[in-house]
Structure 1
Amino acid sequence: MFEASSINSSTVEEKLFGHAGEDVDGDDGPVVFICGKCKLPVGDSLSWDGSEDGQNQIRLKRVTDNVLVGEDTRLYEASKKSLCLITDLFCQGCNSVLGMIYASTPKNLDHKRFAFCLNVADIDSYILGSANQMLAAEGPKEQPVTLEYRGIVEQQLTEMKMLVMSMAQRLEEIEAGL
């Protein structure tokens, strides 16, 4: 299993795009976003659409089938004089609210319309390639198990089996002569 970490939208954006003027760190892989409660994957950074630090949300163009779009639309006041119609997003695994979709927005919020807005407080993330636990090598003579290597081992086992059977037969002959 992987270890999940708590995230915020500015940290995610830094990981994905770096700071303006800085080189992006090539060591970080794509980010997988997971439900904060049941850890089902809900999206990834390849569908990144932006973030909203003021609302502590990230926007994705696409999400996994583990995200269910609610059936009820309701009014939401994003700010004064900014009424929107939204629909809640739910996790299929634990039915917790993950965020919302803006179905109708004023002109200044059009960039949010029909994007999946996930609440950073309700999701965690995992950076692909960040795992660092490995099995210790047995030594410098350790070889990977290939078909060729397997064939050699099987041949050696067959030869050893024949040798043991031959020795057992000779031992029986010696015991019979006594």
Structure 2
Amino acid sequence: MAAREKSLKHRQKHINATFEASSIDSTAVGEKLFGHAEEDEDSDDGPVVFICGKCKLPVGDSLSWDGSEDGQNQIRLKRVTDNVLVGKDNRLYEMGKRSLCLIVDLICRGCHSVLGMVYTSTPKNLDHKRFTFCFNVADIDSYVLGSASQMLAAEGPKEQPVTLEYRGIVEQQLTEMKMLVMSMAHRLEEIEAGLQEGCDEA
């Protein structure tokens, strides 16, 4: 029990990354959800999906956003997916000298990593955290819906797929061109024959 608390505290100290490490800033998410930022069309990002940092299972999204704790590198969500298991054992967690809390772990169903915690009992000044899902930013990643940019290059009709219909059209065009060339060659022979006759008569 003590070893587990120690490793949790060590992880808290070790956390240096904010959402910049996972391609999104927590204040940007807040501004996006609550409209505090003046946005132009270019920066109009979609909702954010939060995924387990280890096995990449989706754990929640920004439509359930409840806030962020920059000092602790945590985000709070009101709802999570079934991929998040809530631990059963309450344990003491000390946020500060006078801030003892009871918490249970949030565990990924896929890889059993600890992703964060739920505060089941808090001092009055931390009541806003109670019974929300608090995720450690260092243990999750995020993906902005609509941020995909890679496309296959298509250069008009040259790149059309070779379907039976397309092949039939091409063969028909080739046949028509062949008939036109043969007709022109035949007409040229007639002209040459007429010129030859004119020369012979002269």
Fold shared, TM-score > 0.5 on shorter chain? yes
Question: In structure 2, do the counterparts of structure 1 residues 143 and 15 end up closer, same or farther at CA, with 3 Å as the change threshold?
Answer: farther
Matches within 5 A, 1:1-178: 5=22, 7=24, 9-14=26-31, 16-17=33-34, 20=36, 22-26=37-41, 27-139=44-156, 153=165
Structure with bigger strand share is 1
Superposed CA RMSD in Å reads 2.9
Partner amino acid, structure 2, of 1:153: E
Determine if contact 1:31/1:44 at 8 Å carries over to the other structure: yes
Give 3-state SS (helix, strand or coil) of 1:54's partner. helix
1:54 and 1:39, CA in 2 relative to 1: closer, same or farther beyond 3 A? same
Q: Distance in 2 between matches of 1:79 and 1:126?
A: 32
Amino acid at match of 2:150: Q
| Residues in 2 aligned to 1:48 and 1:85: alpha-carbon distance in whole angstroms | 22
Structure number with greater CO (CA < 8 Å, separation at least 6) is 1
Q: One-letter code of the match for 2:138?
A: A
Output the amino acid matched with 1:80. K
Per the TM alignment, residue 77 of structure 1 is displaced from its structure 2 partner at its CA by: 1.2
Percent identical among aligned pairs is: 79
SS at match of 2:127: helix
User: How far apart are the structure 2 equivalents of 1:105 and 1:62?
Assistant: 20
Instruction: Give the match for residue 163 of structure 1.
Output: none
Residue 139 of structure 1 and its aligned partner are, at CA, apart by 0.9
The SS at the match of 2:87 is strand
The separation in 2 between residues aligned to 1:134 and 1:116, in whole angstroms, is: 36
Q: Distance in 2 between matches of 1:32 and 1:23?
A: 22
Aligned-residue offset at 1:142: 6.9
- Give the counterpart letter for 2:165 in structure 1: V
Q: In the aligned structure 2, how far is the partner of 1:30 from the partner of 1:37?
A: 21
TM-score (norm 1): 0.71
1:98 and 1:41 map into 2 onto residues whose CA distance is: 12
Q: Where does the alignment leave 5 or more consecutive residues of structure 2 unmatched?
A: 1-20, 173-202
| Structure-2 separation of matches of 1:25 and 1:102 | 38
Question: How far 1:108 sits from its partner (Å)?
Answer: 0.9
